[in-house]
A and B are shown apart, each in its own frame.
Chain A
Amino acid sequence: MRFVASMLVAGAVAAPATAGTVSVTIPRLSVAEYHRPYVAVWIEPAGGGAARTLAIWYDTKKRGNEPGTKWLADLRAWWRKGGRSLQMPANGVSGATRPPGTHTIPLPADLKPGAYTLNVEAARETGGRELVQLPLTVPTKAARAAGSHELGAVTLSAR
């Protein structure tokens, strides 16, 4: 409760101007061995150009011979489009894996108006991999797409 209150205060004090919000739903899967998926969210200009990573969720705690970064390349589209040039951990971008449910990511406020493609890619240990793409125009209009196995709904909203 206190957490919610502090969030509200923070929101009221420093409401960052965002270009919109992305919601990503990680589906609950009834499988024998479940591991939370690695998820990457990034945007690319529709006419081509550098990708910008908005979020990368991976096993940030695993160290040793096989650190959590070992499987980042399994997000193969993201890895090729720019993940491989990102230093991990990436401030404000990388974070721990998320449980099933809907998670929101703000679109950066400095996003220039124009046409983009929003990409959400998920890869799961002992599971599958899926890429969901959604056209994005800034200023943001509501839009929706959905994955079929590793990802649920991916939605865009104006705020």
Chain B
Amino acid sequence: MKTLALRLLAAAALLAVPAGLSAHRLWLLPSGTIFSGTDSWVTVDMAASNDLFYADHQPGRLDGMKVWQPDGTAGQIQNGSTGRYRSVFDVRLDKPGTWKIGTETSALMGSFKVGGVEKRVGGRPGTGPNGERIAPLTVAEIPADASDVQLTEVGARNEIFVTAGEPTRTVLTPTGKGLELDAITHPDELVAGETARFRFLVDGKPAAGLKVTVVPGGKRYRDAEGARELTTGSDGVLSVDWPAAGMYWLNTTYQDAKASVPRAAGRRLSYTTTLEVMTP
């Protein structure tokens, strides 16, 4: 069970990263979050690395990258490119208001046994005896005589918010599905010295006692990691103080036994965002 849990952790991290170890943080880094004028573009980096926000490990994957325009309709990314350490893309902010950009992934991970041999479902491709890549099995490929079927639903959100002109709240409306952020404080109105409040929801209901990690960027230019682990209250609300202006990475995970997919024993959900805090 322990090994399965570990494998699930690894698989979840790999959902959005082509290859690499699980411990790395996946991040989106916008060139800005507040824009004025009539022809604004935001350019966004995406990568996985330990130190924020230094692209020194693996690029993020741009397939599955979504754009929500201020009215909630789908937009598009432009000039996408994946390099050795990071992916880059642009979004033209041609409508005023708040935009949401990010990925929502959902997958099944796990294992089963056939004739005493363990096989894996989902996750990263395996390697055969001659070094060839073996695509992971899907749920449909689990044979009828399989035993010890253990499947977990893995859902991940990683999103950022950028605003052209006045902030709007259409894209902030929770969907009621999975783990998500209900922004009481608008994510593009964060100021050093002011407390921001975010409610975390699981299937639309407040997630009490959820542990949330907040890490400031710029690790290379200070000694301390600076990560804080905060906990949501009984109402699911997280209060975050911002000691200084800058970019912050926020991440939380949640697991329970309420999988929405048949045969899955449970689910593991994660939420990640990058927030820009301004000087007063």
Interface of A toward B, CB cutoff 8 Å: 65-67, 69-73, 76-77, 79-80, 83-85, 131
Contacts and interface: CB of A to CB of B under 8 A. Distances in A.
Given A80-B191, A80-B278, A73 B39 contact: no
Interface of B: 34-40, 165-167, 189, 191, 278-280
Contact of B36 (A65, A72, A77): A72
A84 B280 contact: no
Contacts of B166: 84-85
Contact of A70 (B40, B189, B191, B278): B40
B165 A67 contact: no
10 contacts: A65-B39, A67-B37, A67-B39, A69-B37, A73-B35, A73-B36, A79-B36, A80-B278, A84-B36, A84-B165
Contact of B189 (A65, A67, A80, A85): A80
B278 A76 contact: yes
Contacts of B189: 80
B36 A69 contact: yes
Contacts of A85: 166
Contacts of A71: 36-37
Contacts of A67: 37-39
A48 to B, nearest CB: 13
Contact of A73 (B34, B38, B280): B34
Contacts of B167: 84
A76 B34 contact: yes
A70 B191 CA distance: 21
A105 to B, nearest CB: 22
Given A76-B278, A83-B36, 11 more contacts: A67-B39, A69-B36, A69-B38, A70-B36, A70-B39, A77-B280, A79-B34, A79-B36, A80-B191, A84-B166, A131-B280
A56 B157 CA distance: 40
Contacts of A73: 34-36
Given A84-B165, A85-B166, A70 B279 contact: no
- What are the 6 tightest A-B residue pairs by CB atom distance, in nearest-first order? A70-B37, A73-B36, A72-B36, A69-B37, A84-B166, A73-B34
